[in-house]
Amino acid sequence: MNNPILKLDRINSFYGPIQVHFDLSIEVARGQIVCLLGGNASGKSTTMKVILGLLKPRSGEVILDGALITGLPTPQIIRRGVGSVPEARRLFGAMTVRENVLMGAYTRSDKAEIAHDYDRMLALFPRLAERSNQAAGTLSGGEQQMVAMARALMGRPRVLCMDEPTMGLSPLFVDRVLELIQAVNKTGVTVFMVEQNASLALRIADYGYVLQSGRIALSGPARDLLHDPRIRDAYLGGQAA
Amino acid sequence: MTSSLGPWFDYTVNGLVVGNIYALLAVGLALIYGVSHLINFAHGSVYMAGAYIGWLCITYLGTPLPVTLAAVVVGCGIIGLLIERVALRPLQSAPRIAPLLATIGVGLVLDQVAQLLFTPDPRGLPLQLPAWRIQIGGGTIGALDLLIAGIGLFSALLLYVFLRFTKLGWAVRATALDRDAAQQCGVDVNRVNSTVFAIAAALGGVSGFLVGMYYNSIDPNMGFQAGLKGIIAQMIGGMGNVPGAIAGSLLLGLTESYGIAVFGTSYRNLFAFVVMLLVLVLKPNGIFSRGRALPAEPLTGTFIAPSAPVRVPPMLVAALAIIALALPLVVRNGYVLQTLGIGWLYAVLAISLTLVAGTAGMISLGQAGLLAIGAYASGLLAINLHWPIAATVVAAGFITAILGTLIIFPAFRLRGHYVTIATLGVGEIVTLTILNWDSLTRGPVGLSGIPPLSAFGRPLISGTWIYEIALGALIILALTQWRLLSSHLGRTLRAIRDDDVAARSYGIALDRYKGLAFAVAGFTAGIAGALMAHIFSYVNHETFTSQASLLALTMVILGGLGNVAGAILGAVALVSLPELFRAAADYRMLIYGIVLLLLIRFRPQGLLGTV
Amino acid sequence: MAPILQLDGLTRRFGGVTAVDALSLIVNEGELVSIIGPNGAGKTTVFNLVTGLDAPDAGTVTFAGRDVTGLPPEQIAALGFARTFQHGRVFGNLSVLDNVLVGAHTRLSAVRPQWPVIGPVGELALALVRPGSVKAEEAALRAEAMDILALFGERLTPRVNNPAFSLSYANRRRLEIARALALEPRVLFLDEPTAGMNPTETAEMLEIIRGLKGQFTILLIEHKLDLVMQLSDRVIVMEDGAKIAEGLPQAVAADPAVIAAYLGSREVGTIHEDAS
């Protein structure tokens, strides 16, 4: 692939003494929706932490649009155009929906544009308009996911990183969130999402990787992965001889 | 009718004013806790710094009040920034209790610097306001009361506007709610920490300045009690809860004011600490919380910097002991020997602390309270019942063991820095109880005429006797503690320290063993206190202060937590050696503070390593 | 085989989330039963509820005919439950040997008098004086601890006096099991014993657990299905707090509901004609 917007190059990362990634290499093509799948303890969420600078890998590089970002502090990575929708949303529960969404624009100083973008968010997520002065912690899981997405989008990211966006959501919201991800992608934002639910992710993704015990077990266009029987082994298989 | 209401109106006003002052402290502490989960023990020192900056401005620059206030705000803000940058930011990845101890060290250093610069004597801070008072319903309100209320309200308003409407204020709130998520919005958490420390310090400094004017008195030690009150007020309202801190402060102020009205001035601080213990035990999340679950707290064991302890060969220890015992053959000066003897008793205190703080993982800042109980027990038994000294000292050991454990027992369910605060409070309560229980302890007069050490009717008052008795006690108690540590109890206590959840899962009843550790430590420290009483022949409530507790903790950390030999070494290094060389007596506490800070930063496992 | 452990309608809620939903299961003496399921299924919560670290909102836990629901972990340990933890919890500053000896705490009888109020005092006195019976018990325990460590070949025995924090991750997990064995458990609870281990280490652990089968009743939480297949007498599958399948290992692995639970849909991984 030439000129991927996000690239992980032979990442080896550790949690204390435990190695989580083994020479992990991933490429995210510009403008696509790329998903990283895997079962328990595969290392999916840690991948997100490495990209966002929350965990420094012992070796290997993270490259954003040609520039090395490995080991940069998280706020700087955000400033370079990475948006983050963390696992379990991580909203500022005691702050209002409006304050949460506007926090996403923290790194920006163009007030008029920010206000304009905020209005666009309300249009994209109409439910939020009704609740804009409500404490974010009182919203349902699905509504919170929308606030989290809006918050991340306010930073005008080039790449949107989403960590398990469908976890814990009711089926109705799952569909809505997946639609929103596709809508966002159509505006030119590359989406990189980590997901446990392979079925849902592969429904909307262009390309996928399957992680197993810190290594890529499978990769390919989403459509092919969906029907590849090896994906079952990758999820459920063990490593005992 | 109005005349009987009058005083109560005054008490209420006084309570609210004092509460207002506590609020300025507590709000800053709540902000700091919210953002960094840290209890800032240096806050009282910043409060004191504010008072002195104000005094300097008025005395040397003759500035009008608004300018003085501005100078206090700016000066203390800078101090706050420095504290965060120098003492705390380097410890960000260290275990949670390290920054707590660092703030204690910083507070100690600031207090000592002030004492050296300004002498310990109180100074006046003359009122710069018109002396009128308003009559309301039989009571009065003065201009200063209004000013304090005004500043309190204005600060609250400013803070509210800052947090609600400014970008940085939002960043502060976001960081307090979810640090990682805030970073993922691009917030620079270090900048937030600095800002919060500066704001908190400014508020605290203003508080100190106002207090100085209110009581027309400032002194370098004014910060300690105030800082604790601020912490207590914040705890009452719920840690990190800014409106709660205000409510808790007003409540505390009123409680104190009414309490004094009913019981008398000397009870003032007792209320705060009793309230603190009640809150810790009954509603650790603050009185406005609904649940009784303790907030998530890292295990105390995580402070213990893992290390392989330096192996001190038993032969070497025996040789050193013999040399020490033989010292009076060489050193003839009775005064020097007596002073060294006191040094050995501090070593006894150190080994008692290393048992609870090191081996059992409960960092106690109230060990001096055990000394006091032991001293008074032995002294009173000797004076009132005329028991022989050997009996009173041993009895004092047991009394301290039982009493000390009973008092601290409710705090066993706490972990991490809550334990430290609770023990600090207990130490203060012991001091205040001694002060106020006149019928038993002779109150502020103190216990005089305590008979000297004696055996078989013969008084043992020479320096040599004191030295040998103290050293003998140390050797016996240290050997006992070593034996305890090498038994199954040693590994059981250390298991509790390292991981109390896993310990419980393997059948270890936490209360039983924590109680055991405190009982043994109480016995040990009680004996030390008892012997000190008979050597000093006079003790009062100020003989064994929290400074002694702090000194003990520094000794123990210097030697290595849990390391008996290390504790003794720490005592020798910090007490005996300086005495021998009469070195820099005035600078002693300052040096202790700096030593503590350096240790936490660079060698948390101490000289001989943690065990 | 007689049931040694029985869970009836065990339920635990956290706020609005039901972590364990009316779980019922029976474990017979000597069985090795595995509990599997995707993240968040409630498996570790079940362990916590049974071993006393957490109390259920509803339901009962019966051990050898006795109701032990809601007992604190100290008492549960004394009854013979030993557990390891999902992320490994050894006593970092204690030596390997001391870790194992602490595991035997509930068995110390000579030095732990159960007298009501003065029990601790007696314990202190015995620890300081150390009469013959105390010394003998300690010596016997040490010998036994060395035997237990020998089960792990050369992994732990050469490091017997090293502090646990200096051990590799895999060795720490092994030490946890050694500590659990020192308790002489009647039921052994292993929570993801091979998490974070590479294939070689996993294979070793498989053999060790296989060696324990039959001597102890074992409850195992695991993600590596090959391991589960080889070890289990029975497998229980949980999803969202509830049991969705139970039975012999092979049957459970082929169960479409189980596949759906892990992958999101039973169709993932199946080849089907392109409808368009």
Based on the fold, state whether residues C34 and C46 are members of the same structural domain: yes
Q: Which fold has domain A1-81+159-241?
A: Rossmann fold (3.40.50)
Q: Any residues with CB less than 8 A from the CB of C154 and at least 6 apart, and which?
A: none
A240 → closest Cβ in C195, C226, C271 = C226
Confidence at residue A24, expressed as pLDDT on a 0 to 100 scale: 94
Confidence at residue A239, expressed as pLDDT on a 0 to 100 scale: 39
A→B interface, C-beta within 8 Å: 52, 54, 73-75, 78-79, 84, 86, 90-95, 99, 102-104, 106-107, 151, 155
Q: Do B170 and A99 touch (CB under 8 A)?
A: yes
Confidence at residue C115, expressed as pLDDT on a 0 to 100 scale: 76
Using CA atoms, how far apart are residues A108 and A190, in angstroms rounded to an integer? Answer: 20
What residues of chain C lie within 8 A of the CB of A19, using their CB? 196
Taking the CA of residue C224 and the nearest CA in chain A, the distance in Å comes to 4
Confidence at residue B299, expressed as pLDDT on a 0 to 100 scale: 37
What residues of chain C lie within 8 A of the CB of A200, using their CB? 264-265
Q: Which one of C116, C137, C164 terminates a domain?
A: C164
Using CA atoms, how far apart are residues C12 and B454, in angstroms rounded to an integer? Answer: 65
Using CA atoms, how far apart are residues B119 and A201, in angstroms rounded to an integer? Answer: 71
Confidence at residue B310, expressed as pLDDT on a 0 to 100 scale: 83
- Strand-pair partners of C160: none
Query: Which domains, ranges and CATH numbers included, belong to chain B?
Result: 2-126+139-282 (1.10.3470), 332-545 (no CATH)
Q: Which residue of C has its CA nearest to A238?
A: C224
What residues of chain C lie within 8 A of the CB of B504, using their CB? 53, 72-74, 77
> What is the ipTM for the molecules in this complex?
0.93
Based on the fold, state whether residues C184 and C70 are members of the same structural domain: yes
C94 → closest Cβ in B498, B508, B509 = B498
What residues of chain B lie within 8 A of the CB of C90, using their CB? 499, 502
Q: Do C271 and A229 touch (CB under 8 A)?
A: yes
Q: Do B177 and A94 touch (CB under 8 A)?
A: yes
Domain of residue C64 covers 1-90+167-276
Based on the fold, state whether residues C25 and C60 are members of the same structural domain: yes
- Amino acid (1-letter code) at residue B537: S
Using CA atoms, how far apart are residues A125 and B113, in angstroms rounded to an integer? Answer: 58
Based on the fold, state whether residues C220 and C250 are members of the same structural domain: yes
Q: Do C77 and B501 touch (CB under 8 A)?
A: no
Based on the fold, state whether residues C105 and C218 are members of the same structural domain: no
Name the domain count of chain C: 2
B400 touches B370 (CB < 8 A):
yes
End-to-end CA gap in chain B? 67
Q: Do C92 and B301 touch (CB under 8 A)?
A: yes
- Strand-pair partners of A215: A212
Q: Do A240 and C263 touch (CB under 8 A)?
A: no
Q: Which residue of C has its CA nearest to B305?
A: C93
Q: Which pLDDT band, with edges at 50, 70 and 90, does A240 fall under?
A: very low
Q: Which pLDDT band, with edges at 50, 70 and 90, does A238 fall under?
A: very low
What residues of chain C lie within 8 A of the CB of A229, using their CB? 269-271
In this predicted model, what pLDDT tens digit does every residue of A85-112 receive, in sequence order?
Answer: 998 889 998 899 999 999 999 999 898 9
Taking the CA of residue A134 and the nearest CA in chain B, the distance in Å comes to 15
For C82-119, the DSSP string reads EE--TT----TTSBHHHHHHHHTGGG--TT----TTTH
The predicted model scores a pTM of: 0.85
Q: Which residue of B has its CA nearest to A90?
A: B181
Q: Do A241 and C226 touch (CB under 8 A)?
A: yes
Q: Do A107 and B180 touch (CB under 8 A)?
A: no
- Amino acid (1-letter code) at residue B593: G
Q: Which pLDDT band, with edges at 50, 70 and 90, does B377 fall under?
A: very high
Taking the CA of residue C171 and the nearest CA in chain A, the distance in Å comes to 11
CA distances from C193 to A38, B503, C37, C177, C196 (A): 20, 19, 15, 8, 9
- Amino acid (1-letter code) at residue B224: F
Identify the weakest region by mean pLDDT among A11-20, B291-300, B433-442, C126-135.
B291-300
C196-211 CB burial, b ≥16 within 10 A, e <16: bbeeebbbbbbebbee
Q: Which of B19, B262, B260, B12 is nearest to B137 (CA)?
A: B12
The alpha carbon dihedral of C230, C231, C234, C238 has a sign of negative
Taking the CA of residue B485 and the nearest CA in chain C, the distance in Å comes to 9
Confidence at residue B100, expressed as pLDDT on a 0 to 100 scale: 82
Q: Do A103 and B174 touch (CB under 8 A)?
A: yes
Q: What is the mean pLDDT of residues B210-222?
A: 89
Ramachandran category for residue B365: left, alpha or beta (phi over 0 → left; psi -120 to 50 → alpha)? alpha
DSSP 8-state class, residue B217: -
What residues of chain A lie within 8 A of the CB of C169, using their CB? 16-18
Which element (helix H / strand E) includes B497? helix B488-498
What residues of chain A lie within 8 A of the CB of C222, using their CB? 238
A240 → closest Cβ in C196, C203, C262 = C203
Which residues of chain C fall short of a pLDDT of 70? 1, 116, 265-276
Based on the fold, state whether residues C180 and C158 are members of the same structural domain: no
CA distances from B20 to B26, B135, B153 (A): 10, 21, 9
What residues of chain A lie within 8 A of the CB of C272, using their CB? 227
Confidence at residue B139, expressed as pLDDT on a 0 to 100 scale: 67
Taking the CA of residue A17 and the nearest CA in chain C, the distance in Å comes to 6
Neighbours of C228 (CB within 10 A): 23
Q: Which pLDDT band, with edges at 50, 70 and 90, does B345 fall under?
A: very high
Within an 8 Å CB–CB cutoff, is residue B93 touching chain A? no
Q: Is the pLDDT of residue A176 over 90?
A: no
Q: Is the pLDDT of residue B564 over 90?
A: yes
Using CA atoms, how far apart are residues A48 and A42, in angstroms rounded to an integer? Answer: 12
Using CA atoms, how far apart are residues B244 and B222, in angstroms rounded to an integer? Answer: 25
SS3 content of chain B, % helix, strand, coil (to 5): 75, 5, 20
Q: Is the pLDDT of residue B445 over 70?
A: yes
Based on the fold, state whether residues C83 and C117 are members of the same structural domain: no
For B49-105, the DSSP string reads HHHHHHHHIIIII---HHHHHHHHHHHHHHHHHHIIIIIIGGGTTS-THHHHHHHHH
Taking the CA of residue B180 and the nearest CA in chain A, the distance in Å comes to 8
Based on the fold, state whether residues C31 and C83 are members of the same structural domain: yes
Confidence at residue B1, expressed as pLDDT on a 0 to 100 scale: 42
The alpha carbon dihedral of B497, B500, B505, B507 has a sign of positive
Q: Which one of C164, C189, C205 terminates a domain?
A: C164
C262 → closest Cβ in A168, A226, A235 = A235
Confidence at residue C267, expressed as pLDDT on a 0 to 100 scale: 67
Q: Is the pLDDT of residue B4 over 60?
A: no
Can you read off the two tokens belonging to residue A38? 């895997």
In this predicted model, what pLDDT tens digit does every residue of A206-219 receive, in sequence order?
Answer: 999 999 888 898 99
Within an 8 Å CB–CB cutoff, is residue B163 touching chain A? no
C138-157 CB burial, b ≥16 within 10 A, e <16: beebeebbeebbebbeebbe
Q: Do C168 and A239 touch (CB under 8 A)?
A: no
C264 → closest Cβ in A197, A227, A241 = A197
C124 touches B484 (CB < 8 A):
yes
Does residue B528 or residue A20 have the better pLDDT?
A: B528
Taking the CA of residue B501 and the nearest CA in chain A, the distance in Å comes to 21
Confidence at residue B521, expressed as pLDDT on a 0 to 100 scale: 96
Q: Which residue has the tokens 């109705």?
A: A172
- Strand-pair partners of C61: C7
Q: Do A232 and C259 touch (CB under 8 A)?
A: yes
B35 touches B175 (CB < 8 A):
yes
Based on the fold, state whether residues C66 and C155 are members of the same structural domain: no
Q: Do C270 and A196 touch (CB under 8 A)?
A: no
Neighbours of B196 (CB within 10 A): 25
Q: Do A240 and C224 touch (CB under 8 A)?
A: yes
Q: What is the mean pLDDT of residues B344-363?
A: 93
Confidence at residue C128, expressed as pLDDT on a 0 to 100 scale: 92
Confidence at residue B291, expressed as pLDDT on a 0 to 100 scale: 53
What residues of chain A lie within 8 A of the CB of B181, using their CB? 86, 90-92
A92 → closest Cβ in B167, B178, B183 = B178
Confidence at residue A20, expressed as pLDDT on a 0 to 100 scale: 87
Average pLDDT, chain B: 88
- Amino acid (1-letter code) at residue B160: Y
Q: Do C163 and B308 touch (CB under 8 A)?
A: yes
- Amino acid (1-letter code) at residue C174: R
Q: Which residue of C has its CA nearest to B358?
A: C93
Confidence at residue B606, expressed as pLDDT on a 0 to 100 scale: 84
For chain B, which chains pass the contact test of at least 3 CB pairs under 8 Å?
A, C
Q: Which pLDDT band, with edges at 50, 70 and 90, does B474 fall under?
A: very high
Q: Which residue of A has its CA nearest to B163?
A: A95
What residues of chain B lie within 8 A of the CB of A84, using their CB? 184
Confidence at residue B604, expressed as pLDDT on a 0 to 100 scale: 81
Using CA atoms, how far apart are residues A146 and B519, in angstroms rounded to an integer? Answer: 57
Alpha-carbon torsion, ordered C130, C136, C140, C143, to 10 deg: 80
- Strand-pair partners of A14: A19
- In chain A, what are the domain boundaries? 1-81+159-241, 88-156
How do strand C3-14 and strand C17-28 relate by DSSP bridges? antiparallel
